[in-house]
Amino acid sequence: MKISKTPFEGLLIIEPDVFEDQRGYFFESYNEKKYAGEGIQYRFVQDNQSKSVMGTIRGLHYQLGPRAQTKLVRVLSGTIFDVAVDIRQGSPDYGKWFGLEISCKNRKQLLIPKGFAHGFSVLSEKATVFYKCDEFYSPEFDSGIRFDDPNLNIDWQIPSDKYIVSEKDKNLKSFKEARNNFTY
């Protein structure tokens, strides 16, 4: 497996070793021992999966400490633009975002540690997203930031007139107003 660092501390791009032949392909999407050997040591306790149509934006979501979640995101079908926003107060990258196209074809994964808000937009006709979490969902610690916050200025890679966003996500607070207990 290939692990690439991003400009953000702890945010990693993971590309599994893929074995292809005339039958198709095989790869390990997660192997605790191999990840630990690379210094990635999380105990994942919950798997989540969503299916969305083109133009959908989900996010920006996170859970506050002590129930903050590290996420390992991959795409089972289609293509997304995955976004992580550094919300660790005192970080040199505080308030900055990183985006990566992830698809069933490129098989990239994004490891998003605690202290980042997460969201994605769907670039293909449909997309199925799968992610592992190292903490259970806890509604009382659920928080988020508006996807269209002008201070973040995220380019979701789709025209704004094509956005499909849930009412919950439309009503999230701005970056400056959102609940946040992360420090660098």
**CA 184 – CA 182 distance, rounded (Å):** 7
Q: Is residue 183 domain-resident?
A: no
Q: What's residue 48's pLDDT? A: 98
CATH of the domain at 108: 2.60.120.10
**CA 177 – CA 14 distance, rounded (Å):** 32
pLDDT digits 0-9 by tens, 80-116: 999 999 999 999 999 999 999 999 999 999 999 999 9
Identify the band that residue 9 occupies on the pLDDT scale cut at 50, 70 and 90. very high
Q: Is residue 176 domain-resident?
A: no
**What percent of the chain shows pLDDT beyond 90?**
100
Q: What's residue 135's pLDDT? A: 98
Q: Is residue 175 domain-resident?
A: no
**CA 115 – CA 119 distance, rounded (Å):** 13
Q: Is residue 181 domain-resident?
A: no
Q: Is residue 182 domain-resident?
A: no
Q: Is residue 11 domain-resident?
A: yes
Structural domain boundaries enclosing 69: 2-21+29-170
**CA 100 – CA 98 distance, rounded (Å):** 7
Written as six digits, the tokens of 145 are 């930031």
Q: Is residue 184 domain-resident?
A: no
Q: What's residue 23's pLDDT? A: 97
Q: What's residue 79's pLDDT? A: 98
Catalytic (active site) residue 131: yes
Q: What's residue 72's pLDDT? A: 98
From 131, 137, 163, 184, active-site residue: 131
Number of domains in the chain: 1
pLDDT digits 0-9 by tens, 149-182: 999 999 999 999 999 999 999 999 999 999 999 9
Q: Is residue 71 domain-resident?
A: yes
pLDDT digits 0-9 by tens, 23-67: 999 999 999 999 999 999 999 999 999 999 999 999 999 999 999
Beta strand 12-15 with 2-5: parallel, antiparallel or unpaired?
Answer: antiparallel
Q: What is the model's pTM?
A: 0.96
From 35, 42, 61, 118, active-site residue: 61
